Amino acid sequence: MLMKFIKQWLAVLPLSCVLAPAFSQNMNSPYSIYGIGDMDFRPYNRTSGMGGTGMAIRSSYYLVDNNPAAIAGLTRSFFTVDAAFTGKTVRYSGTPINADNSNNKDFWIKRLSLAVKINKFWASSVGFNQFSNVNYVLTGDKPVNGTTGSYNTYYEGDGGLNEYYWTNSVQLGKRLSLGLKSSIIAGSINQTETVADVNLSTPVSTQIQDYIGKSRFQAGAIYTQPVNKQWEVSLGGRFSPKIKMTSERTLTVTEGSTAVIEDEFIKSDRFYLPNTYAGGIAVKKQNKITYALDYTYEDWSSLKIKEQGWQLVSSSRISGGIEIPRMSTTWNRQAVEKGFFQIGGFFHNSYLQVRNEPIREFGFTAGLGGIIGSGLFYTLSLEAGSRGTTRQNLIKENYIQATFTFSYRDFLQSKGRKYN
């Protein structure tokens, strides 16, 4: 049974890596023009309805992996296959916006993963998720050297980075779990400038492609302390060290349908990811309610990444949420969760500053989930939020996002052995 599912998952993974970027080509994200694109901080799992709050949360049935240490909470001798999909609609406002480009919508595959609780102490998970997204289309005028004239110019970007990871977590005693996430962040970013003007006989297109790849590690820990028979408190922490991401840049120039330069190597470049610190607390009343709060800090300022008109600054994010389970009692009087409801919110002071204006984001979330059938679980969440500003001729995004996550859970082939 397990080997069959692993083979199916491995067959789907390469196809999903191709489809994930393809599904996002209609969504114009103007702020993805900077750096390595829009870096998504959302976990896309059971905690989505709580504003993504889950640094100190573990689950026996759902694949909650906001913290690498969390997967140790899965039930022994079971495996879980997990997938997340997101649909988003955005309305833009600001001076550059008109009736033709005021709204957009799209759909993504955000993650695929497989987790196994191998024995009483050790759990392991492999998968991929979208790390950053580049998708924009801009128009402008390009001045002609030596004259006062200009050409109509179109700027387009696409691509992004995916994270391919292997997470291992161990349970030390009843209260402490530790985890390590080892990943490869890789992908390509494509930037195209097309000069198409009535004064030119054929359009001239210049494309720059950056191929990026680097390994990264995240370490995490969760400690749980019962307060009394009903209440318990969990503390979680996560750390990611600074890494240098190397890239190779190539150039392609076409005039009409003729390639003047094709995939010519220009140079090697680099981009850094900063030290990242995250912590959280969860307070749970047995089978009644869970309160959770997270805080994340990323030290971008120390990297001194700055270009004309924009720079990266240290960012912080705070989120909180409440979860209320819906319980039922089995024939042997055991309490079993049949579903849950969540509400939450977040405020994100992002790493991006454009024309001296910080690009901030906030949102409110609600979610629910439960059992569809034997071994199949779902989570549905809605998020309404806002990002950016209209000051300094920038663009503000008001959006609504729906996330659907489903998990298939089954018993490992035991070869006749029985597990509790």
pLDDT digits (tens, 9 = 90+) for 331-351: 666 777 889 999 999 999 999
Q: Which tokens is 247 given? A: 């890239």
From the list 388, 410, 411, the residue with the least C-alpha distance to 399 is 388
Using pLDDT thresholds of 50, 70 and 90, give the confidence band for residue 311. Answer: very high
pLDDT (tens digit per residue) in 65-103: 999 999 999 999 899 999 999 999 999 998 888 777 788
Q: In this predicted structure, what is the pLDDT of residue 416? A: 45
Q: Does any domain span residue 199?
A: no
Q: In this predicted structure, what is the pLDDT of residue 357? A: 95
Q: In this predicted structure, what is the pLDDT of residue 11? A: 41
* Domains of the chain: total: 1
Amino acid identity, residue 350?
Answer: S
Domain limits for position 369:
2-130+137-152+162-169+275-411
From the list 124, 121, 117, the residue with the least C-alpha distance to 411 is 117
Instruction: Tell me the β-bridge partners of 398.
Output: 91, 386
Q: In this predicted structure, what is the pLDDT of residue 198? A: 66
For 9-102, list the strands marked E by DSSP.
38-39, 78-93
- Chain-centroid distance of CA 342 in Å reads 20
Determine the length of the chain.
420
Predicted confidence (pLDDT) at residue 419 exceeds the cutoff of 60: no
Q: In this predicted structure, what is the pLDDT of residue 132? A: 94
Predicted confidence (pLDDT) at residue 272 exceeds the cutoff of 50: yes
Q: Does any domain span residue 98?
A: yes
Q: Say how far apart CA 60 and CA 165 lie, in whole Å.
A: 21
Q: Does any domain span residue 309?
A: yes
Q: Does any domain span residue 405?
A: yes
Using pLDDT thresholds of 50, 70 and 90, give the confidence band for residue 157. Answer: very high
Q: Which tokens is 410 given? A: 């089954």
What pTM value is reported for the model? 0.87
From the list 156, 27, 170, the residue with the least C-alpha distance to 91 is 27
Q: Does any domain span residue 59?
A: yes
Rg (CA), the chain: 23
Q: In this predicted structure, what is the pLDDT of residue 299? A: 97
Q: Does any domain span residue 191?
A: no
Q: Does any domain span residue 375?
A: yes
Pairing of strands 376-388, 396-411: antiparallel
CB-CB neighbours of 202 under 10 Å = 12
Q: Does any domain span residue 210?
A: no
3-class DSSP state of 166: strand
